[in-house]
């Protein structure tokens, strides 16, 4: 299914918190991507009720120099009992700007909310 375009909107509190946590990791380009957060908008959702979204960064902004694709961070999501339920993936556009935030889940039901950060780890209610 193709993403569903929406009127561009600012990141909500949950999206911003997840991105801030992932981008707090130490990797080349992380500081440039963190600096883009105030200029980042959500432009599409990946389906009805999906928490995965397409992002666009308003220019001017400081560009990162990463390979196109995923930010190099393992952002595993666990339920409160510690069971792995998926991961957060942050995508870039040409390695320069934030392009998408994805919650890749392995559960039977699609998540209806993003995970929260608990003790430095992503946690999702079971």
What local confidence, expressed as pLDDT, does residue 120 receive? 84
pLDDT by 10-residue block (mean), the chain, 126 residues: 88 97 95 96 95 96 90 94 94 94 94 90 82
Spatial distance between the Cα atoms of 27 and 59, rounded to a whole number of angstroms: 23
* Token output for 98: 């934030």
Please tell me the total count of domains within the chain: 1
What local confidence, expressed as pLDDT, does residue 1 receive? 60
Three-class SS of residue 49? coil
Q: Among all chains, which residue has been given the structure tokens 């375009």?
A: 5
Domain that holds residue 59: 4-123
Q: What is the pTM of this model?
A: 0.93
What local confidence, expressed as pLDDT, does residue 11 receive? 98
What local confidence, expressed as pLDDT, does residue 126 receive? 61
CB atoms within 10 A of CB 10: 12
Query: Taking Cα atoms as reference points, which of 14, 1, 105, 5 lies closest to residue 56?
Result: 5
**Gyration radius of the chain over CA positions:** 14
Q: What is the DSSP string of 71-121?
A: -S---EEE-TTS-EEEEEEEEEETTTEEEEEEEEE-SSS--SS--EEETTE
Q: Looking at residue 4, what DSSP letter applies?
A: E
Measured in degrees and rounded to the nearest 5, phi and psi for residue 38 equal -70, -15
């Amino acid at each position: 299914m193709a993403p569903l375009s929406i009127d561009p909107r600012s990141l909500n509190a949950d999206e911003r918190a997840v991105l801030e946590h992932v981008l707090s990791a130490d990797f080349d380009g992380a500081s440039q991507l963190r600096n883009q957060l105030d200029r980042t908008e959500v432009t599409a959702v990946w389906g009805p009720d999906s928490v995965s979204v397409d992002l666009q960064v308003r220019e001017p902004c400081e560009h990162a120099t990463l390979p196109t694709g995923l930010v190099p961070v393992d952002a595993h999501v666990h339920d409160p009992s510690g069971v792995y339920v998926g991961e957060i993936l942050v995508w870039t556009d040409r390695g320069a700007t934030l392009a998408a935030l994805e919650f890749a889940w392995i559960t039977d039901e699609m998540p209806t909310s993003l995970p929260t950060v608990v003790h430095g780890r992503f946690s999702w209610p079971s």
